[in-house]
Structure 1
Amino acid sequence: MSDVLNPPESAEGSTSVPLKPLGKVVAVTSGKGGVGKTFVSANLAAALAKRGHRVLVLDADLGLANLDVVLNLYPKITLHDVFTGKAKLEDAIIRAPGGFSVLLAGSGMVEYSRLTPEVRDDFLRIMAGLVPHYDVVLLDTGAGISDVVLFAVSLASEVLVVATPEPTSLTDAYATIKVLAGQQKRKIIRMVINQTARLGDGRAITTQLQQVLDRFVTSEDGKQLRLVHMGDIPADNSVRQAIMRRQLLLQSMPGCPAAMAISQLALKIEETVAPKAA
């Protein structure tokens, strides 16, 4: 892991080449906010935990963290306390409903809205301390293509982009994917389409995005970026009910269509990055 912890730097102190992604780390990201990224992260973690995996979700949206709200948690110690040396990493990790662990960030952390060398080093130190202890680490990143978001994504071996069928979401998802292909040389990006109206809508959307990428995005080695459709999460009134109650959908309404779709997504993620449970 030494090459991960000591990436080359430019003269300004920023990473000059993509970092080697850490194994079994999945970045859950999106082009825009409001598409259900944190909802997917939390419930995906619960589904993976139910399958016997040790799972941790790290709230990597350092400026606008809301994983604590989704899970109805009130942490006494946050990632901010670990970054500033006020608390140990193990003291900041708490058990969430659903049988997985979380490391929560404090909202409004303005000092972490930019990728300074200090923020980068703190992030790397935290990840090095976390990854060996879990089967899967999910990074619930911020939305968009800020340097902090892109850095968090660069630490993952797999990227899951969450989008909805809305044109603005798809436009921003395309922009995000294009940046990831160009800056991080990603060859495979996984897609989940949330709030679909009909069966098959998500696959059709992923196919359309792939066609646009094939036309306009080319890599240095000539190989095309491949989008992998991981599934649809259907529009479901149960989702809104669970969010308003600050409950995990997989716990409150495990038999609803959206919960079943997330369980199927967990199976595909397991096949991709997680070792089989003993």
Structure 2
Amino acid sequence: MIRVAVYDKDPRIAALLLEVLRRDRESEPLGAASSIDDVRRALSVHPGSVGVFGPSVGSDELAVASELSRTSPGSSFVQVVDELDAETIRASMRHGIRDVVAIPDVEREFAPAVHRAHEMATAVAASSARPERNAHGRVVTVFSTKGGTGRSTVATNLAALQAKAGTSTLLLDASRRFGDCASLLRLRPDHTLSDLVGVTSLDDTIMQAVATPHESGLTLFAAPNDPLEGSALSADLLSSVIKRLRELYQLIVIDTNSSLDDFTNAALGSADLALMVTSLDLPAIKDAKLCLSMLDRVGVASERVRVVLNRANSDVGFPSAEVAKAIGHPVAHGLPSDVAVPRAINDGVPVVWHSPKSKIAKALSKLGEDTRHDLALAPLKVEKRALFLRPARAKATI
């Protein structure tokens, strides 16, 4: 049972929250606290409990969450607010609060938020000091300068191929506000990158709690389910996460967004290999040229960059052979336009699994093999009949 202490200066709100908890089979309400000191005492007497702060609790009192998060790793906190906005979520996460729920959503979202907070706190409490290990995992960052180039499709299929080859592979969705990797893999993660905000030690147990396994063998670190939570993710946190993941996986494939902000730059700066996905339209080629000239200034040497031209066989009036000349960098791979891609996306299955005999699957397999060569990994072991067993068709997860 999850013990929960509720504190709000308005007794009606406290009573509402307690009533919701009493209907939850996994929760054991400790009652309504009359002060912030009561919350502190309750969590001291009952280690591993969840503290709940209502809308009337001020920022000074919320600082108790920061204090107890450091001194009592098993404690966790949920805040209930009048309405959600980005600044409220950022402030809450800075105080070490695991989840934020708006009053209108209490009936549906409050108890699950308490469960999630408790799960993460349990993982923190179970973590123990371990000797540092030398980082050995390799990092591939997939990026583009505009949306719609197929970047996420390349990242998910590349990760699925490497996992199928027997390499322990993690796919990190670093598109912090509108990540698509979970949908492309037909997954509904319970925990995401936002659960790591405020965590002081990225121990193995914590990392495992955030990870979501996929049937191909890869593991997903998903982007936040709520775009508002993405604003609380910092470039420093991403760098720390990548550093820890290098110790846990042989290969980390990072999907990014089309904005070259500090967050994406952190993913690029950590990369052993960077795949820039572009297309044949003039704006994409112009942006690719500008991006390539900028990458060296953020610490990404040109020899670590591979240009991937998506939909390379499209007849749009710009010959694919001219792309390398236009951007001043060789094109390493051309991926064909293929109707198998949207079909696979709608089914929530990697196209190398969904349509293994298609032209795009064969081109992605070549990209996967060349990536392994660039990173000095063992060659891909691809079955002649199919890369994966093809699953039954299913509706897309949206």
| C-alpha displacement of 1:45 | 1.0
Amino acid at match of 2:197: F
Unaligned runs of 5+ in 1: 1-21, 211-226
String of CA shifts for 1:102-143, please: whole Å, max 9, x gaps.
Answer: 1101144446448xxx72332232112211222211110111
CA distance in 1, matches of 2:142, 2:320: 17
The 3-state SS of whatever aligns with 1:142 is coil
CA distance in 1, matches of 2:320, 2:368: 17
- 1:123-272 to 2 correspondences below 5 Å: 123-184=238-299, 186-188=301-303, 189-197=305-313, 202=320, 204-210=322-328, 227-272=329-374
CA distance in 2, matches of 1:164, 1:268: 20
Question: Normalising to structure 2: TM-score of the pair?
Answer: 0.55
Asked whether the equivalents of residues 144 and 172 of structure 1 are also in contact (C-alpha less than 8 Å), the reply is: no
String of CA shifts for 1:216-244, please: whole Å, max 9, x gaps.
Answer: xxxxxxxxxxx343211100011111111
| C-alpha displacement of 1:206 | 2.4
| C-alpha displacement of 1:67 | 0.9
| C-alpha displacement of 1:272 | 0.7
The 3-state SS of whatever aligns with 2:220 is strand
Residue 128 and residue 248 in structure 1: after superposition, are their counterparts in 2 closer, same or farther (change >3 A)?
same
The 3-state SS of whatever aligns with 1:128 is helix
What's the % identity of the aligned pairs? 24
The structure whose Rg is larger is 2
| C-alpha displacement of 1:88 | 1.7
CA distance in 2, matches of 1:130, 1:23: 7
Amino acid at match of 2:297: G
CA distance in 2, matches of 1:28, 1:136: 13
Amino acid at match of 1:260: K
What is aligned with 2:51?
A: none
CA distance in 1, matches of 2:171, 2:181: 9
Amino acid at match of 1:105: A
CA distance in 2, matches of 1:234, 1:102: 26
CA distance in 2, matches of 1:92, 1:274: 29
The 3-state SS of whatever aligns with 1:143 is coil
CA distance in 2, matches of 1:230, 1:104: 28
CA distance in 2, matches of 1:70, 1:191: 22
Alignment of 1:58 with 2:172, yes or no, is yes
Of stretches 69-78 and 121-130 in structure 1, the one that deviates more from structure 2 is: 121-130
What is aligned with 2:378?
A: 276
CA distance in 2, matches of 1:187, 1:193: 17
Among 92, 96, 104, which residue is 2:222 paired with?
104
Among 189, 213, 218, which residue is 1:95 paired with?
213
Unaligned runs of 5+ in 2: 1-135, 382-398
Residue 94 and residue 235 in structure 1: after superposition, are their counterparts in 2 closer, same or farther (change >3 A)?
same
Among 225, 230, 237, which residue is 1:122 paired with?
237
Amino acid at match of 1:186: A
Q: CA RMSD in A?
A: 2.6
The 3-state SS of whatever aligns with 1:264 is helix
Residue 234 and residue 141 in structure 1: after superposition, are their counterparts in 2 closer, same or farther (change >3 A)?
same
| C-alpha displacement of 1:196 | 1.6
The number of residues matched between the two structures is 238
| C-alpha displacement of 1:49 | 2.0
Alignment of 1:28 with 2:142, yes or no, is yes
Question: Normalising to structure 1: TM-score of the pair?
Answer: 0.78
Amino acid at match of 1:197: N
| C-alpha displacement of 1:84 | 3.7
| C-alpha displacement of 1:185 | 5.1
Of stretches 241-250 and 179-188 in structure 1, the one that deviates more from structure 2 is: 179-188
Residue 137 and residue 274 in structure 1: after superposition, are their counterparts in 2 closer, same or farther (change >3 A)?
farther
Of stretches 52-61 and 142-151 in structure 1, the one that deviates more from structure 2 is: 142-151
String of CA shifts for 1:155-193, please: whole Å, max 9, x gaps.
Answer: 112111001111121122222222212332523221111
The 3-state SS of whatever aligns with 1:156 is coil
String of CA shifts for 1:50-106, please: whole Å, max 9, x gaps.
Answer: 222221110011122111111111000111112243992111112123221111011
| C-alpha displacement of 1:153 | 1.0
The 3-state SS of whatever aligns with 1:88 is helix
What is aligned with 1:41?
A: 155
Residue 96 and residue 162 in structure 1: after superposition, are their counterparts in 2 closer, same or farther (change >3 A)?
same
String of CA shifts for 1:3-27, please: whole Å, max 9, x gaps.
Answer: xxxxxxxxxxxxxxxxxxx961111
Residue 174 and residue 144 in structure 1: after superposition, are their counterparts in 2 closer, same or farther (change >3 A)?
farther
Of stretches 149-158 and 80-89 in structure 1, the one that deviates more from structure 2 is: 80-89
